[in-house]
Chain A
Amino acid sequence: MALTPDDIARIAQLARLELDATQGARVLAQMNQFFGIVEQMRAVDTQGIEPLAHPVAVLGDIALRLREDRVSEPDARSANQRSAPAVERGLFLVPKVIE
């Protein structure tokens, strides 16, 4: 299951990463090497096996915990925004969003 440069370009775009030609080629080679190892995994018969999302669920079902519907987070805007790259009047600024 070899990847092509097009695959790399597509997933780089999905991940919002830029790779120049050299980087792209290197990543392609590394990923193909990696997926060579992965192929043995694909051949394993997993018919009837449920995926294991929470590791300890192999012991028994883990259910989602629910909390009471109560507000307990006060306005902490300045603390929360102290590492923000661009803020004006409390809003995070970004290049114009065109719909």
Chain B
Amino acid sequence: MPSPAMTDTSTTATHPTTLQGALHDATVYELAAALRAKQVSALELAQHFLARAEQHADLGAFVAVDPDITLAQARASDARIAQGQAGALEGVPLAHKDIFVTRDFVTTAGSRMLRNYRSPFDATVVQRLAESGMVTLGKLNCDEFAMGSSNENSAIPSVGQTQPGPVRNPWERSRVPGGSSGGSAVAVAARLAPAATGTDTGGSIRQPAAFCGVTGIKPTYGRASRYGMVAFASSLDQAGPMARDARDCALLLSALCGPDPDRDSTSLDLPKEDFSRALNAPLSGLRIGLPKEFFGDGLASNVRAAIDLALQQFQALGATLVPISLPRTELAIPVYYIIAPAEASSNLSRFDGVKFGHRAPHYGDLADMYKKTRTQGFGEEVKRRILIGTYVLSHGYYDAYYLQAQKIRRLIAQDFQQAFTQCDVIAGPVAPTVAWKLGDKSDDPVANYLADIFTLPASLAGLPGMSLPVGFSPAAADLGLPIGLQLIGNYFQEARLLGAAHQFQLATDHHRAKPAGF
């Protein structure tokens, strides 16, 4: 258990075993300590957060809850604490993005195709967090099959609803929370859970974290097992935590990462790491690279202003800013939107109505069953990406599109390696704007794709990337919406990223801000 940092000046945790304020304002770090000190019980926490979720069901964050299961887990945690067998995060509640399969809860992946699907096994990430003692509050809404940047693509009604509806940003209910891990970001921002799991394929942890003012990290590709994550794009998908600060993210990342050689062939053979180990490393001498391509005209001025202020803060803490270039940044969009849909189109072929999931209620022959099942089961964005993917893999187009994209991907990865010779971490915006209004971009898929420009490059290169809240928009139209700063590290440098973020969060309090009414 990490001892309180000497430089820690946070106001709510001067004495870690004393919880101050509401239970839902405590961080994972504080709750873990309080549970160990038996200042609060797992059962109490579970009940508290279940009630919060119900109270704020209108946000649409949860798609599945089961109090019996949750409370049973909580009781088991309390028993372990009593017997002195507490895991590192024993009794701390969290919720899982509904992309992770769970035995005890339905797994929908935000899709009608899996409306009532019950997995016979748990995802490795779910298993690992359970082994560290965490208690599952439920499953969180997300864009269908993780495809989307606004969580407007979910086909599953959230808890308390009968129809699918948008997931709402707690800072401003008429705004998107970001996606695809929208439900996860909302749950953390609205204090419905102290932490949540998300997945990030092209920015799906970082962007909703930025839009909702929370902290989230996508580790190096291959760090976290993909076994049990409903596959979207195999060479890009990664699991990661979302919480209210870097210290919490470090705790969760340590628990959920680790090799899974028996189940995931792409999982890297690296020993388990303690990602909290560099939280207190001073920032002096840290070289922060600023890619000029991330600071062009497309960046909204309110975002730019907050990012600039944050960078000044980093300088005040001892970091130096270094201008760099990632020349192929713009190419990341077509490259990603060739590779990801291609892999997805193949990964989603298993949804055929034969072994599990939706089957059309009426059909003629086998061919008809396939078509009706898949047409009914998949939403429009998913179908669009399947079609793109099928096209770019089809005969005659493979070389020009898919193969070409994978080659440029290598060039993009090489650009980063070149950049890292001049800097230690790379910083920039997460998204060109703050959260947009619900419905604004839902008819314009390509506009959505273009907005991913800053998060896609790190995804393609498989680099670790995180988002931390660095301010709020002052502009009249976008009053008070969160803005996130992206930090990208070289391979395996998660501890360094989290350390830099933590030092920033010790000196600032954007990460402690809370939407009104929560």
A touches B (Cβ under 8 A): yes
Contacting residues, chain B, for A64 (C-beta < 8 A): 265
Given A52-B409, A53-B235, A85-B359, verify A16-B370 contact (CB < 8 Å).
yes
Cα distance, A16 to B272, chains bound together (Å): 42
Choice from A14, A52, A98 contacting B390 with Cβ under 8 Å:
A14
Contacting residues, chain B, for A33 (C-beta < 8 A): 446
Contacting residues, chain B, for A89 (C-beta < 8 A): none
Tell me the chain A residues, 49-88 only, with Cβ under 8 Å from chain B: 49-56, 58-59, 62, 64-65, 67, 76, 79-86
Is B117 part of the binding interface, using a Cβ–Cβ cutoff of 8 Å?
Answer: yes
- Tally of contact residues, B, Cβ under 8 A: 75
- Tally of contact residues, A, Cβ under 8 A: 53
Is B173 part of the binding interface, using a Cβ–Cβ cutoff of 8 Å?
Answer: no
Q: Contact between B363 and A30 (Cβ–Cβ < 8 Å)?
A: no
Tell me the chain B residues, 367-423 only, with Cβ under 8 Å from chain A: 367-372, 374-375, 378, 383-384, 386-388, 390-391, 394, 400-401, 403-411, 413-414, 417
Tell me the chain B residues, 308-362 only, with Cβ under 8 Å from chain A: 330-331, 333-335, 337-338, 345, 352-359
Q: Contact between A17 and B404 (Cβ–Cβ < 8 Å)?
A: no
Is B221 part of the binding interface, using a Cβ–Cβ cutoff of 8 Å?
Answer: yes
Main DSSP-derived SS at the B contact region:
helix
Is B462 part of the binding interface, using a Cβ–Cβ cutoff of 8 Å?
Answer: yes
> Which residue of the partner chain A has the closest CB to B357?
A83
Cα distance, A56 to B267, chains bound together (Å): 11
Is B68 part of the binding interface, using a Cβ–Cβ cutoff of 8 Å?
Answer: no
Is B279 part of the binding interface, using a Cβ–Cβ cutoff of 8 Å?
Answer: no
Is A2 part of the binding interface, using a Cβ–Cβ cutoff of 8 Å?
Answer: no
Question: Which residues on A are within 8 Å of B, measured CB to CB?
Answer: 3, 7-8, 10-12, 14-19, 27, 30-31, 33-34, 37-38, 40-42, 44, 46, 49-56, 58-59, 62, 64-65, 67, 76, 79-86, 92, 94-98
* 28 A-B contact pairs sorted by A residue (CB < 8 Å): A3-B391, A7-B391, A10-B394, A16-B370, A18-B375, A30-B445, A30-B446, A34-B446, A37-B450, A42-B401, A44-B331, A44-B411, A49-B408, A50-B410, A51-B410, A53-B406, A54-B235, A55-B462, A56-B491, A65-B269, A80-B120, A81-B355, A82-B118, A82-B120, A83-B118, A85-B356, A85-B359, A96-B366
